[in-house]
Amino acid sequence: MGIFLKDINLKGKTALITGATKGLGRGAAEAIAEAGGNVIAIGRNQSELNSLGKKIKKLKVNYTSFNCDVNNYNKIKSFITKLKKLDILVNNAGTNIPENFLNVKKISLDTILNVNTKAVFNIAQLCANQIIKLKKKQGSIINISSIFGLVAGQKRTVYSMTKFGVEGLTKGMALDLAKYNIRVNSVCPNIVLTPRTKKYFDNKIYNKYVKDSTPIKKVVTISDVATSITFLASEASSMITGTSIVIDGGWTAK
Amino acid sequence: MVKAKNRKKIGGSIIHMSSQLGKVGCGGRNVYNMNKFGIEGLARGMAVELAEYNIRVNTVCPTFVETPMVKKFFKNKKFKNQMLKNIPLGRVAKESDVATAVAFLAADSSEMITGTSLVVDGGWTAQ
């Protein structure tokens, strides 16, 4: 028999997390550390990287941080190719600029495509190659997608284009990396309450729109997503690859 | 694991055992396909209807699992090899692979997951 849920732990595993200073990335970093995994945090805000480090070191796991923009391919490549330990990637860094399709600015299009697709692809490729180079017997890559990788939402044409793309990338990577026993999956949350989205949720109309669209009538929290990420990172999901865990309270079921 | 917070008092989790063949077709399995696609539909309908009671409804969609029934099917080596070719990870699922998925959906750690499927298929349906 294999490993059961009660046995989930990531002891001795090392996870690289992009966009680790805030929101989902920070939640994933903390959850992975709670499960005993070592954390390599990539982010752009040094003081937040430091404060995350303080919290994670209390859990008696190793913490490394790297201050870098995910768009800076050369800088991130030289970092990842020197890593001595790597088992898990949480490919989290992402962005959105809500605009009506007819008025999407060229700069918004470039920004969203660069972060949500090009950087996601590049970092996944670098990490997969590094996991193979380190001769790991297994690996797990988790791409942070969205319900907007499965259905559309208003003022989210570019975002949906990138997240549908991430869904395709996830399945394609799963096939190409299966022979190395590197699993690749995505998580598709509903609109999560994070420091960035809090200002939207403070708007009563928006809050009502999200709750009305969610049959279970609750807002997805960072911990809801972080637990799924930890599950996919662990050996408890060793036969799960090329698929998505949808964390949406029923949004896409209706 | 991160503990779930703010859970409503009424609540529950229903897990239907579906299959990868609730997602894709397979020759010689038409009726099974019809059943399992039906379960996928049932789970979504139930999820929407039972959400007001905070009862979550999901499915688990495994590939071939090392069960006594499948072991019997796999005595036919040609069939076994054909099926394994369709699983990118190159192995069948263990019972525990499915059991962890069921436990995950039963636990509060999945309290915002409803009306969806956890696919445990080693990449079968990703192709």
Instruction: Give a yes or no: residue A55 inside a domain.
Output: yes
Shortest CA gap A243–chain B (Å): 6
Q: Which one of B32, B53, B73, B79 is the catalytic residue?
A: B32
Active-site hit among A77, A163, A180, A199: A163
Which pLDDT value is given to residue A5?
62
Q: Does B54 touch chain A (CB under 8 A)?
A: yes
Query: How many CA within 13 A on the CB side of residue B70?
Result: 15
Q: What is the pLDDT of residues A71-128, one digit of tens each?
A: 999 999 999 999 999 999 999 999 999 999 999 999 999 999 999 999 999 999 999 9
The reported pLDDT for the residue numbered A8 is 80
Asked if residue B1 has pLDDT above 80, the reply is no
Q: Which of A13, A22, A136, A159 is catalytic?
A: A159
| CATH number of the CATH domain containing A54 | 3.40.50.720
- Per the CB < 8 Å rule, is A179 touching B111? no
Domain that holds residue A176: 11-191+221-248
Structure token pair of residue A48: 């937040």
Nearest CB to A247 within list B43, B112, B119? B112
> Does residue A254 sit within a domain?
no
Residue A60 lies in a domain: yes
- Would you call B11 an interface residue with chain A, using a CB distance cutoff of 8 Å? no
Q: What is the ipTM of this complex?
A: 0.84
Tens of pLDDT along A79-90? 999 999 999 999
CA nearest neighbour of B64 among B24, B41, B98: B98
Q: Compute the nearest-CA separation of A237 from chain B (Å).
A: 6
Ordered by where they begin, the domains of chain B are: 13-121 (3.40.50.720)
Q: Residue A148: helix, strand or coil by DSSP?
A: helix
Please give the mean pLDDT across all residues of chain A: 95
Q: Is A54 labeled as catalytic in the residue annotation?
A: no
Structure tokens at B7: 């859970």
List the one residue out of A181, A32, A139, A154 whose CA is nearest residue A98. Answer: A154
Does pLDDT of A65 surpass 50? yes
Q: Is B32 known to be catalytic? A: yes
Domain count, chain A: 1
Instruction: Check CB contact under 8 Å for A221 and B5.
Output: yes
Cα first-last separation, chain A? 37
Q: What is the pLDDT of residues B61-78, one digit of tens each?
A: 999 999 999 999 999 999
Residue B109's pLDDT is 86
Give the residue on B whose Cα is nearest the Cα of A218.
B112
Query: Does the pLDDT at position A175 exceed 80?
Result: yes
| Residue B16: closest CA among B58, B51, B66 | B58
Task: Report the pLDDT averaged over residues A162-174.
Answer: 96
> What distances in angstroms separate CA A140 from CA A33, A137, A184, A247, B100, one per listed residue?
16, 11, 6, 19, 17
A154 found inside a domain: yes
